[in-house]
Structure 1
Amino acid sequence: METLSPPHVDARQRSVPLSVVALAAATFSVVTTEMLPVGLLTSLASGLGVSAGTAGLTVTLPGVVAALAALLLPVAVRGTDRRTVLCGLMLLLGAANLLSALAPSFAVLLAARLVVGLCIGGVWAVAASLAVRLVRAEAVGRATSVVFSGIAVASVLGVPAGTFLGELAGWRWAFGAVAGLGIAVAALLAAVLPPLPPSEPVRLGTFPGLLRLPRLRTGLVAVALLVVGHFAAYTYVRPVLERVPDVGAGLISTLLLCYGVAGVAGNFLSGTSAARDPRRALLFISAALAAVVLLLVPAGASLPVSVALLVAWGLAYGGVSVSSQNWVMAAAPEAREAASALFAGIFNLAIAVGALAGGRVADAYGTSYALWLGGGLAALALAVVATARPTR
């Protein structure tokens, strides 16, 4: 792959180039937008007159579209400058979020969320492989971690921030805020990114070849199980917390914020470990997620225990994105953009499947069974990772 080293980039500097930070802001924006309905589920459902399970479609449908877009958009724009692609997608994201904020009905909101899905998959797939073109070779590892930290930080902070704003001003204002964020990030990308002509054209035939790599295939299966399990349970974490005695709306927002802070810590702790051995990092994460999610079922009667488990959940899930990305890059170092697109497609499809499965289980049997499903899938991911050969 061509390596672009702009004159202003000095790999010897300890600071991260602003162009890399801008990519992290883009991934943060799209993933925050994707998961925003999670923290607003109760108020969104009541405001538009639908059930909590139906409102979960605002997470499910964008995930399906994002999974397809992650695979197809890099193929469709293979001849287009990546800076132009990213700026266009971020502007489209801002417009879709504005439509969400103004949506007069649930059908209009879903239509806007489909457009959001296109932006999510496209930004994630394109941005993931660009760090190597923005810094010198010796700084690629750190820059790639920064870009993907946008995803991890969004996963653990986007929902609490959106929930807090939704509690203060209403769910429509939360969507309006991320609309403004998308437009601001588009302007930042246009200002700081250098021209990025495509250097590694992605074709549809590339993906089957990647899936024939055993280690990459094992990693993708494990990631799919972890993410499906997490979102089957976490999409409905608010109803789960509402059953705990003496928990009000304000305290739930605080608890989700604590989850977010723990997740940020987990992201950086796991990032250090995953850079050395992604298999060991995913083994620990899978075991921890299985334990804390399953333990939340009997812990519902105790506020202190529920809080401790929620923080542990944040610590564990905060490392999923960075650890799995390290696994994917190690398994396919010669096909970064294609492997990143495949990873993004699997990840987003898993979000959609998890939210859908959790909604069906929660509506049919209750939210406790969504926790059982999530914990069970995390345990299955642990078994899959354990079968992989240790990294040398």
Structure 2
Amino acid sequence: MTTTSSDVTRPVAPDTPRGRWAPVVALAAGIAILVSSEFLPAGVLPTMARDLGISEGTAGLAVAATAIAGALTAPTIAMVLPRMDRRTLLVGLLVAAAVANLAVAVAPGFVVLLLGRLVLGAAIAGYWSFAFAVGTYASPGRDHVISTSIALGVTVATIVGLPLGSLLADGPGWRWGFAAAAVLSLIGAVALTRALPPVPAHPGAGMSMLRQALRNPRLVAGVVVLVVAVLGNFLAYPFIRIAIDETSPGAGMWMLVLWGVGGLFGNLAAGRFSHRLRAVVTVAPLLLAVGLVLTVLAESTPVMALAMLVWGFGFNMVPVGTQLWVTRVEPERTESALALQVTAFQVAITLGAALGGAVLDEYGVELVLLIGAVAAAVAAAGFGALRVSRG
């Protein structure tokens, strides 16, 4: 008989506001800190490249490095640590992120920076793989709230983290952003320790669960389409500041805020319409494609502002929609399904940042944006062709 996540004895959430929301807030704050750390290079890319004496395309590999580690970590961490208490695991990953960010903050050269980013990638992938399952264990029956809140943490990272990093790059220096991320990671670890109960591992966690999940053809097809959708975004996203500066020099911080505001509403919209998941996962990459094309066509600051809102809205629907999508397509092995979703993100980020950097150095940011738009449109068609329910 297949063991499902519902077979594990779950705690009853205390009937108080703090008991209901403390785990949700702590988990969302943790992912916000980690994602801020992951995408800080996008906000400081030109300054970081000059300081390290490398091209902007090469500096974009600072984003790809985290994704490389994440792609390897997400599907394997449950196999390496199949019985570890999941609260302990998440706390340890935040501590590892603190060490990684500190290494980047003091890095004397690009090699040390890349090593720090690799450690950060492992921390992000592991945290993202388990946060949803941990949240639904600590607050049972609130899967939509958990998914939306975790994705909201990602949006907070884009609204606050990236513009702040950009501001620091233009002021005291890009390294201060990573130093702040190290401190926040430690604070997040303490918050998780206090907010979460012990969370036992899923009884079937490990290689067997992953193999069974991979036998689900709809899950595998959806993960492949997700790679294409996320690739469309991350071909361009590491170089968003460069695209903005071509049309609206001096407005980089505020444009990144608009991207994040669009993302906030995208998160909420995906959660609100989660009962129509097929529509959500189809519309999201389509809007992403529109946002990328608008960015190419923008010849004024108002049009660029609209492009940032649409881009942010479309892409930030993707994490919420696809997280719920994979758990509905594979409801009996959600831990492995979510690990595959995270792997898809990290593979796409790796490929996108590397390909985008190569195209940028050779042909410029406009072609990068257009290739991303095509990939996003293809992903919209792919999700439109896939069913969510069985049968």
User: Shorter-chain TM-score category?
Assistant: over 0.9
Task: Report sequence identity in percent.
Answer: 35
Tell me which amino acid in the other structure corresponds to 1:267: N
Cα shift readout 1:20-43 (whole Å, capped 9, x = no counterpart): 211111121222211111111111
1:136–1:379 Cα change, 3 Å: closer
Partner of 1:259: 259
Cα shift readout 1:87-132 (whole Å, capped 9, x = no counterpart): 1111111111111111111111111111111111111112221122
1:113–1:145 Cα change, 3 Å: same
Query: Are 1:134 and 2:138 counterparts?
Result: yes
CA distance in 2, matches of 1:181, 1:164: 18
1:37-48 superposed matches below 5 A = 37-48=41-52
Normalized against structure 2, the TM-score is what?
Answer: 0.93
CA distance in 2, matches of 1:24, 1:104: 32
1:106-185 superposed matches below 5 A = 106-137=110-141, 139-155=142-158, 157-185=160-188
SS of equivalent to 2:96 = helix
1:108–1:306 Cα change, 3 Å: same
Cα shift readout 1:188-226 (whole Å, capped 9, x = no counterpart): 111221112213342224334323323322321222111
Tell me which amino acid in the other structure corresponds to 1:116: L
Cα shift readout 1:4-52 (whole Å, capped 9, x = no counterpart): 224x523x86984202211111121222211111111111001111000
CA distance in 1, matches of 2:107, 2:137: 39
Partner of 1:293: 292
1:4–1:164 Cα change, 3 Å: farther
Tell me which amino acid in the other structure corresponds to 1:264: L
Tell me which amino acid in the other structure corresponds to 2:229: L
CA distance in 2, matches of 1:315, 1:98: 32
In the alignment, structure 2 segments of 5+ residues that lack a partner are none
Partner of 1:386: 384
Normalized against structure 1, the TM-score is what?
Answer: 0.92
SS of equivalent to 2:133 = coil
CA distance in 1, matches of 2:389, 2:290: 25
Query: Are 1:281 and 2:286 counterparts?
Result: no
CA distance in 2, matches of 1:259, 1:44: 22
Partner of 2:336: 338
Partner of 1:376: 374
1:149–1:302 Cα change, 3 Å: closer
1:203-282 superposed matches below 5 A = 203-244=206-247, 247-249=248-250, 251-273=251-273, 275-282=274-281
Cα shift readout 1:297-319 (whole Å, capped 9, x = no counterpart): 232x3222122111111111121
CA distance in 2, matches of 1:282, 1:184: 34
Partner of 2:83: 79
CA RMSD, 1 decimal: 1.9
Alpha carbons 1:35, 1:159 under 8 Å: kept: yes
Partner of 2:39: 35
CA distance in 2, matches of 1:175, 1:85: 23
1:296–1:192 Cα change, 3 Å: closer
1:316–1:156 Cα change, 3 Å: farther
1:288–1:143 Cα change, 3 Å: closer
Alpha carbons 1:96, 1:115 under 8 Å: kept: yes
Tell me which amino acid in the other structure corresponds to 2:222: G
Please, which moves more after superposition, 200-209 or 43-52? 200-209
Partner of 1:314: 312
Partner of 2:65: 61
Alpha carbons 1:57, 1:355 under 8 Å: kept: yes
SS of equivalent to 1:71 = coil
1:39–1:194 Cα change, 3 Å: same
Please, which moves more after superposition, 20-29 or 197-206? 197-206
CA distance in 2, matches of 1:161, 1:98: 17
SS of equivalent to 2:353 = helix
CA distance in 1, matches of 2:262, 2:334: 30
Cα shift readout 1:44-86 (whole Å, capped 9, x = no counterpart): 0011110001001100111010111111112111111112111
Partner of 1:357: 355
* Deviation (angstroms), 1:157: 4.5
Q: Which of 205, 215, 219 matches 1:202?
A: 205
* Deviation (angstroms), 1:290: 1.4
* Deviation (angstroms), 1:180: 0.6
In the alignment, structure 1 segments of 5+ residues that lack a partner are none
CA distance in 2, matches of 1:14, 1:214: 41
1:106–1:123 Cα change, 3 Å: same
CA distance in 2, matches of 1:144, 1:294: 29
